[in-house]
């Protein structure tokens, strides 16, 4: 075989190998976007505002949990009825949820915190829903706190689900919610964007006079929090500082027979040039 024919065979072999290679190449399958539902109960509209913000940011489906016999709009009337129902072991009925729960991968479950946990309509939903294999992202609104205790209860109520880290906001701080929620969703991986990594708190130390004043200013005017700060840990946050106070309940002059609740953790944020505000309490 002469050199010319040998070169021709080598060229043909290269073309055939390339064709086979191209024909057998498989495209890498794209990761499917999880189907998400924002499901919530709202008494005053605060939790609804958070739910709508999540649904808008994520393009998720959204539905409200609706009671058959709604609570009275009056706060005290709602508390009185809720306490009576708790004493009698009654869980109020809700209307059937329209969404096909089985079709969703991630469920953002929203509620106001009552008596340290999710409101009864959410309890009723959990009793009748099959959430096996679902990722549940809790979000809530509260007067002083309750996200952590609610998450613990969710883990008991939905043991076959993955309970993800949640988001909670005081009703008095609802204006801070859109910014905080954006950070939360990015940190949790539901939104793309820069993730803000907060530094760890410093070691706790006894509170100084200045730090005591910050604590007192933050809790001033909130009737359910009558406490004295003992120690504090501090860290820098964007545009300010965050304080983690350990505090103890003080006797209440208006209710002298009520025993103190004991030790608590109180988170306080001081943004540059702003008044101190507490963000949550963990008892």
- pLDDT number for residue 27: 53
How far is 51 from 70, CA to CA, in rounded Å? 19
Q: Name the stretches of the chain with pLDDT < 50.
A: 3-26, 28
* Contact of 234 with 241, CB cutoff 8 Å: yes
Domain ranges in the chain are 36-187, 205-282
Query: Which of 3.40.30.10, 3.10.310.70, 3.40.50.360, 3.30.750.24 is the CATH number of 36-187?
Result: 3.40.50.360
List Cβ neighbours of 4 (8 Å cut-off, separation of 6 or more).
Answer: none
The pLDDT tens digits of the residues spanning 112-148 come to: 999 999 999 999 999 999 999 999 999 999 999 999 9
The pLDDT tens digits of the residues spanning 150-168 come to: 999 999 999 999 999 999 9
* Contact of 264 with 282, CB cutoff 8 Å: yes
């Amino acid at each position: 075989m002469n050199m010319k024919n040998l070169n021709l065979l080598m060229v043909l072999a290269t073309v055939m190998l390339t064709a086979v290679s191209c024909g057998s190449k498989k495209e890498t399958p794209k990761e499917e976007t999880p189907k998400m539902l924002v499901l919530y109960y709202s008494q005053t509209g605060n939790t609804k505002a958070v739910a709508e913000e999540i649904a808008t940011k994520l393009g998720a489906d959204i539905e409200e949990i609706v009671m058959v016999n709604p609570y009275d709009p009056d706060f005290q009337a709602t508390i009185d009825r809720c306490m009576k129902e708790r004493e009698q072991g009654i869980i109020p009925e809700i209307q059937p949820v329209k969404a096909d729960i089985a079709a969703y991968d991630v469920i953002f479950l929203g509620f106001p915190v009552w008596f340290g946990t999710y409101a009864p309509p959410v309890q009723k939903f959990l009793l009748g829903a099959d959430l096996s294999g679902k990722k549940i992202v809790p979000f809530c609104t509260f007067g002083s706190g309750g996200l952590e205790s609610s998450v613990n209860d969710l883990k008991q109520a939905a043991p076959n689900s993955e309970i993800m880290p949640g988001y909670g906001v005081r009703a008095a701080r609802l204006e801070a919610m859109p910014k905080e929620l954006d950070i939360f969703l990015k940190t949790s991986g539901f939104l793309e964007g820069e993730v803000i990594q907060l530094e760890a708190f410093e070691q706790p130390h006894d509170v100084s006079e200045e730090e005591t004043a910050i604590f007192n200013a933050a809790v001033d005017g909130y009737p359910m929090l009558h406490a004295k700060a003992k120690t504090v840990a501090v860290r820098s946050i964007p545009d300010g500082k965050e304080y983690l106070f350990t505090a103890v309940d003080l006797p209440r002059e208006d209710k002298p027979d009520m025993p103190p609740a004991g030790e608590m953790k109180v988170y306080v944020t001081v943004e540059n040039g702003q008044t101190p505000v507490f963000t949550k309490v963990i008892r």
